Structure 1
Amino acid sequence: MYANEGVWRSILLQVVFLQLAFSSEWGYRDERLTPSDWYQEYPQCGGHHQSPIDIVTNDVLVDTSLTKLRLNGYGQSLTGGSLVNNGHSVQVNFPPGKRYILSGGGFGSKRYRALQLHFHWPLPGSVEGSEHTMNGKHLPIEMHIVHIKEPYDAVEQVKNMTDGLAVLGVFLDIGESKNSAVQKVLDCAEKLTKADSTTAIADGPSLLDLLPDSGTFHRYFGSLTTPPCYETVVWTILAQPVLISRDQLRAFQQIKSFESKHDSGCSDSASCLDTMVDENIIGGNFRPTQPYNGRVVTSFVDTKDDIRDIENDVDALCSKMTSSKKTVERISQCAKKQANRILKLLRRMFASKDQ
């Protein structure tokens, strides 16, 4: 009975998201409604607590009431789920019967169940495709894992709640080697040649495999970044990006909403991928950042990050030490610096423990 219930729930959620969040009426470039005009048919897109935003790290406040995220079931693979090209992104619909639950992280007793995940990326020739920006700078790709507050099942049920949805945002940046977990998603995406095409995920990564090692995150209240732009989202943006290869970025940039009508005539594949912009390519599917309108961004700092930073500073200092006159001075300065950082770390640990 539970399996059947899970199947029907998954089907319902897919229909709701395709209808609400991926209407053919809106888009990013050539469609009738581009982001600056979304509010004309979706009034909440002109609201005061919209997303995405630019996260200015110097203005972020450390919130000692925030705690580590609890990711129950995130170790389960996505095998058995499906990947959908909805014309605006590629979306992973989770396997029926598998539950991925987000809690902790300052949510109190609330639990959020994962509904789907999708990606935002740049057009060919660009490396700036994330929706949220860090200090005014886009990262190449941003992944959103969308969760709904239990016991609800549909976005319409929570659209008037400020905490009805919890979206986990993950940046993808360019590294030196391929990311095997992301590659499993891309292997499926290659089969999706047009909008509304779907393929089964036969060998999927786990959700944990798609996340960074660090638990440090930024928190604010905002909205869906696509119509209908309901202001019902608690945003959790992980600070550390996941690394992918440049070839993997190019693979995202070649995903299309429709099959190409003509051959570009380009013979050098690498050159083509960097410069060709097919009218049917999905890339550039990110909304411009929105005003804060009085909102505050807070953060949780993973204590293991602090310890790692201290270790790196000491290692870097030791590697530079010589028998020069300044050695003692360097040791003294470093000792004071690390003592202050350790004291701050201990204060945060004890403050968190008291609460």
Structure 2
Amino acid sequence: MVEDNYTFASEFILLGFTTREDLQVTFFVLFLAIYVVTLIGNLGVIILIRINSCLHTPMYFFLSHLSLLDICYSSTIIPQTLLNFLVEKKVISFVRCATQLFSFATCATAECYVLAAMAYDRYVAVCNPLLYSVVMSRRFCVGMLAGAYLAGVISSTIHTVSIFLLPFCRSKRINHFFCDGPPLLALSCSDTHVNEVMVSAVVGFNVLSTAVFILVSYSSVLTTALQMRSAAGWHKAFSTCASHLVSMALYYGSSLFMYLRPGSRHSLEHGEVVSVLYSVAVPMLNPLIYSLRNTDMKNAMRRAKGRVLSSLSTHGSWSAGRRGPPFRGEEG
């Protein structure tokens, strides 16, 4: 235990979920499968939006960046976690730990604002359809996206600096599977009250402000949808809101529980399980939530599948024609 009493930790040990070797193999397979599904699903969404001109709209512009953010912060956490399942000494350097926290916080915060931008897009589309093309111009959409990324960088800088300026002399063992804020604050031997308030204030502002904005936007959408005479229009608006609210409930609920609950230092075991939701599960589920409940995405997938099958069929016919007898049109 002497090795744990550093005034300034140069490295940390991530305790992860368990020390049992048989369970570590199980967790490795599970997290690897989740990561592969996350990459395939989100890359598929990005490529599908890119190659289909009918999806070149503000809604899918934001959705493609949501998928990009999901890929980025999954890649910030899961590869290191997979490595720790395989090695005996689960060490991460001070600099890598700070970088992981900064990268994760940047992507997570930016995702909150991208979700808010998507909610505003639906509000304008349903409540002010005649002004949609004017309000949701490309310049305005790019500006909102840039603001989301800027908010992520500013927030994560405050988040990371307020934590890593602390001396870590209590221990270098992080009771978590990645470098997250609450488990790191629990390691400091100094008074962390101000730092905890600062982190909670930053996270609380980003999460609560965007959550309220999203709820207000979708409340207006549903109110307008209920007044529609068209059952198809009502169903489409409700379906879109439902898919977005499912993603929001998972992401925001788990984030608020982790960062804003009282006595976080004494409940890290529960926080570790909850943090799997917003850091691992949500990035995997988002492509399913936004694709399976979205008619435009499903139609785009059918068209893409049809083009691929048609291309393969044409290529096969061409190859068969080269090897076999001439086509009937070419005879004589």
Q: Pick the TM interval, shorter chain.
A: under 0.3
Structure whose alpha-carbon radius of gyration is higher:
2
TM-score, normalised to structure 2, is: 0.23
TM-score, normalised to structure 1, is: 0.22
